[in-house]
């Protein structure tokens, strides 16, 4: 609803905060799909995932969804019981105490900052690619490889997104529908064109779809399996928003369950179609357009759109560019709000809780997120050969960590209510327990494997894999920050803070 709409009925005291219109099934699916930004996530994660699991890519996309679904069930229960702005931070604090809660919040913050810098990096690549395609001058696309140009453009993107977010500007419903429809259209077009090439014998590799691609047990090692699942956790990250949308909306046209299932079907079908299309077209060889080629892996659509879609490749550039630019803006809200909540409860210095009066946005936290994300990207771009790849892998690990901890918090928080019935048992105990354990197992396995300097893109610092240095380094930094905050404001860690805890129904 736009700002000038005056048709909305006058608000009464009795319906405070429920001015949202009801979101129907289609609306929920659009929101869910826009939250996972398929064009961006696939471009960034297809290559690294294929590098780990090869032709078992479709299997991993199917299996990787499971822990995410299990955790999301618990997430929804916590959101109903404690509808708090701090989410993971608040819930884990309530279940396991402030120290673990702080680390959970840190994991969420780290993941959102990582995705911010990665999104901006992908947007930069596609910006120059799109410019090259428009002008017909291939040299422009090479600009993205120049470190100063790349970092400068990336900082400009982050600054622009931060400014929009600081001013509290929002994209409208119409924009969301258009963005999502455009992304889906282009991705399906890409898949159809890729299959067309395979059928006509003009594909790079031209493999036929085989049943074994869907067999997750065919993955060569548990390490590869864990790494693949961590990455697919990243590509599905965000869809669970559909579980909470309709709960906040009175008079919702549809139940959360129905819209969640519809969103899942759309997303899994889409990912499966594209995974199969890319796999059939490219194969997994480490040459040319093969998905095993390290040169093209970290941003696969940038390499494949041209040969697959021909002159229409520009559409793919625009789809990924618009998808990552839109996500960049919506991603700013996430760390800023988490910092706002942590600052509010005294887990971060009070200035993070400052809300800009004019724009009603967490101003200080937004700027802090922009500064950290930009600094992180600039350093990484210099240190790492494949910055996008390494941040995506670290990101997968970080999501596994904080989702895993959140899921276990759900199990512990509801330990008394969970055995009251079959439904409670499944949603408050079994699903989050399984999901949490799975994600934490993948987190530990991936952390362990990433010590190998050859892991992921093969970047290393001091003989240790860069992904390990990043992932474990970020968590250790969190411990240091937590101790600093303990010295500054021990009361948060000593007293239990208050949040709304609703009685558990059903």
Partner 1 sequence: MTTAGRRYVVGYSGDKRSKDALRLGVALARASRGELELVHVVRTDDPFQPVYPPVGDVTPIIRRQARTRLEEAARTVPSDVVARTHVREHESVAAGLVAAAEELGAGLVVVGAGGGAGRFAVGPVVGALLHSSTVPVALAPRRYRGDAPLTRLYAAVGTRPGAHLVIDEALAAVERSGLELVLISFLSGEDGEDDGAARRAVQEHLERAAAEARRHQPVTVHVAAGRTLKQAVRDVDWVPGGLLLIGSSRLARGRQTFLGTTAARLLKHIPVPMVVVPRPARTEEN
Q: Which is nearer to partner 1, 258 or 464 (CB)?
A: 258
Q: Judged by CB under 8 A, does residue 108 bind partner 1?
A: yes
Q: Judged by CB under 8 A, does residue 322 bind partner 1?
A: no
Shortest approach of partner 1 to residue 221 CB, angstroms? Answer: 29
25-36 vs 313-344: helix axis angle to the nearest 10? 90
For residues 152 and 447, give the distance between their C-alpha atoms in angstroms, rounded to a whole number: 31
For residues 203 and 198, give the distance between their C-alpha atoms in angstroms, rounded to a whole number: 5
Q: Judged by CB under 8 A, does residue 49 bind partner 1?
A: no
Residue among 77, 87, 183, 366 that touches partner 1 (CB under 8 A): 87
Single out the residue of 347, 43, 68 nearest to residue 187, CA to CA. 43
What is the number of other CB atoms lying within 10 angstroms of the CB of residue 285?
Answer: 13
Helix (H, G, I), strand (E, B) or coil at 173: helix
Q: Judged by CB under 8 A, does residue 331 bind partner 1?
A: yes
Q: Which residues, in sequence order, are CB contacts of 344 under 8 Å at separation 6+?
A: 85, 353
For residues 391 and 155, give the distance between their C-alpha atoms in angstroms, rounded to a whole number: 16
Shortest approach of partner 1 to residue 239 CB, angstroms? Answer: 9
Helix (H, G, I), strand (E, B) or coil at 384: coil
Q: Judged by CB under 8 A, does residue 449 bind partner 1?
A: no
User: CA separation (Å) from 263 to 122, 323, 399?
Assistant: 25, 18, 20
Please list every residue from 258 through 297 that binds partner 1, using CB under 8 A: none
Residue among 59, 141, 341, 370 that touches partner 1 (CB under 8 A): 341
Single out the residue of 315, 383, 328, 314 nearest to residue 121, CA to CA. 328
Residue among 337, 389, 431, 443 that touches partner 1 (CB under 8 A): 337
Stretch that binds partner 1, among 131-139, 196-204, 338-346, 416-424 (CB under 8 A): 338-346
The DSSP output letter for 290 is -
Q: Which is nearer to partner 1, 359 or 412 (CB)?
A: 359
For residues 63 and 217, give the distance between their C-alpha atoms in angstroms, rounded to a whole number: 10
Residue among 62, 66, 80, 85 that touches partner 1 (CB under 8 A): 85
Q: Which is nearer to partner 1, 114 or 466 (CB)?
A: 114
Instruction: Read off the tokens for 41.
Output: 């996530």
Instruction: Read off the tokens for 213.
Output: 């691609």
Please list every residue from 349 through 408 that binds partner 1, using CB under 8 A: 353, 355, 357-358, 360, 362, 399
- Backbone phi, then psi, for 360, in 5-degree steps? 55, 35
Residue among 25, 149, 171, 441 that touches partner 1 (CB under 8 A): 171
Stretch that binds partner 1, among 81-89, 205-213, 255-263, 476-484 (CB under 8 A): 81-89
Q: Judged by CB under 8 A, does residue 249 bind partner 1?
A: yes
> Distance from first CA to last CA of the chain, Å, rounded?
34
Q: Judged by CB under 8 A, does residue 38 bind partner 1?
A: no
Residue among 112, 150, 259, 459 that touches partner 1 (CB under 8 A): 112
Q: Judged by CB under 8 A, does residue 170 bind partner 1?
A: yes
Q: Which is nearer to partner 1, 84 or 449 (CB)?
A: 84
Residue among 259, 263, 280, 334 that touches partner 1 (CB under 8 A): 334
Evaluate whether 254 touches 27 at the Cβ level (below 8 Å): no
User: CA separation (Å) from 327 to 36, 37, 103, 158?
Assistant: 8, 7, 25, 11
Instruction: Read off the tokens for 14.
Output: 């009795």
Q: Where do the H-state alpha helices sit in 64-205? A: 65-81, 88-96, 98-135, 139-142, 147-166, 173-200
Q: Judged by CB under 8 A, does residue 498 bind partner 1?
A: no
Q: Which is nearer to partner 1, 296 or 353 (CB)?
A: 353
Q: To 5 degrees, how large is the angle CA 479–CA 382–CA 223?
A: 60
Q: Judged by CB under 8 A, does residue 184 bind partner 1?
A: no
Residue among 47, 50, 57, 84 that touches partner 1 (CB under 8 A): 84
Q: Which is nearer to partner 1, 60 or 245 (CB)?
A: 245
Stretch that binds partner 1, among 60-68, 195-203, 239-247, 263-271 (CB under 8 A): 239-247
Single out the residue of 30, 266, 267, 41 nearest to residue 171, CA to CA. 30
Shortest approach of partner 1 to residue 406 CB, angstroms? Answer: 11
Q: Judged by CB under 8 A, does residue 16 bind partner 1?
A: yes
Q: Judged by CB under 8 A, does residue 27 bind partner 1?
A: yes
Shortest approach of partner 1 to residue 213 CB, angstroms? Answer: 29
Evaluate whether 278 touches 187 at the Cβ level (below 8 Å): no
The kind and range of the H/E element at 465 are strand 464-465
Instruction: Read off the tokens for 503.
Output: 């009685």
Shortest approach of partner 1 to residue 301 CB, angstroms? Answer: 19
- Could you list the residues that contact partner 1 (CB under 8 A)? 1-6, 8, 10-12, 16-17, 19-21, 23, 27, 30-31, 34-37, 79, 83-87, 90, 108, 111-112, 115, 168, 170-173, 176, 237-238, 240-241, 244-245, 248-249, 327, 330-331, 333-334, 337-338, 340-341, 344, 353, 355, 357-358, 360, 362, 399, 500
């Amino acid at each position: 609803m736009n700002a000038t709409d005056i048709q909305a009925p006058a608000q009464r005291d009795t319906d405070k905060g429920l001015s949202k219109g009801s979101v129907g099934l289609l609306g929920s699916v659009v929101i869910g799909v826009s939250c996972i930004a398929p064009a961006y996530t696939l471009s960034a994660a297809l290559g690294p995932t294929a590098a780990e699991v090869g032709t078992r890519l479709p299997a991993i996309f199917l299996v990787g969804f499971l822990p995410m679904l299990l955790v999301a069930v618990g997430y929804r229960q916590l959101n109903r019981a404690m509808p708090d702005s701090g989410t993971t931070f608040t819930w884990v604090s309530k279940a396991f105490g402030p120290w673990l809660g702080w680390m959970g919040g840190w994991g969420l913050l780290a993941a959102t900052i990582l995705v911010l810098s990665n999104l901006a990096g992908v947007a930069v690549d596609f910006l120059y690619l799109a410019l090259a395609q428009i002008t017909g001058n291939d040299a422009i696309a090479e600009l993205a490889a120049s470190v100063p140009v790349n970092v400068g453009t990336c900082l400009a993107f982050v600054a622009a997104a931060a400014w929009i977010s600081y001013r509290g500007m929002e994209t409208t419903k119409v924009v969301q529908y258009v963005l999502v429809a455009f992304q889906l259209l282009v991705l399906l077009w890409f898949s159809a064109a890729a299959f067309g090439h395979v059928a006509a014998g003009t594909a790079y590799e031209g493999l036929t779809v085989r049943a074994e691609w869907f067999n997750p047990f065919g993955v060569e090692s548990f390490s590869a399996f864990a790494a693949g699942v961590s990455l697919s956790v990243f590509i599905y990250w965000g869809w669970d928003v559909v579980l909470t949308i309709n709960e906040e909306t009175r008079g919702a046209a549809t139940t959360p369950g129905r819209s969640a299932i519809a969103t899942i079907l759309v997303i899994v079908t889409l990912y499966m179609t594209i995974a199969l299309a890319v796999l059939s077209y490219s194969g997994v060889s480490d040459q040319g357009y093969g998905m095993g080629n390290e040169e093209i892996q970290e941003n696969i659509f940038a390499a494949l759109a041209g040969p697959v879609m021909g002159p229409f490749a520009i559409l793919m550039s625009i789809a990924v560019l618009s998808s990552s630019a839109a996500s960049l803006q919506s991603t700013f809200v996430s760390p800023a709000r988490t910092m706002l909540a942590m600052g509010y409860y005294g887990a971060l210095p009070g200035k993070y809780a400052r809300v800009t009066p004019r724009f009603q946005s967490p101003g200080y936290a937004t700027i802090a997120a922009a500064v950290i994300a930009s600094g992180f990207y600039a350093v990484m771009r210099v240190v790492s050969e494949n910055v996008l790849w390494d941040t995506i892998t670290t990101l997968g690990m970080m999501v596994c960590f904080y989702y895993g901890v959140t899921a276990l918090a759900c199990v512990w928080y509801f330990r008394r209510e969970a055995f009251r019935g079959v439904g409670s048992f499944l949603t408050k105990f079994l699903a989050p327990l399984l999901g949490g354990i799975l994600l934490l197992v993948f987190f530990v396995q991936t952390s362990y494997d990433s010590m190998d300097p050859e892991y992921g893109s093969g970047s290393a610092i001091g003989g240790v894999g860069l992904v390990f240095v990043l992932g474990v380094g970020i968590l250790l930094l969190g411990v240091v920050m937590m101790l600093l905050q303990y010295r500054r404001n021990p009361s948060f860690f000593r007293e239990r803070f208050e949040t709304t805890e609703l009685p558990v129904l059903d």
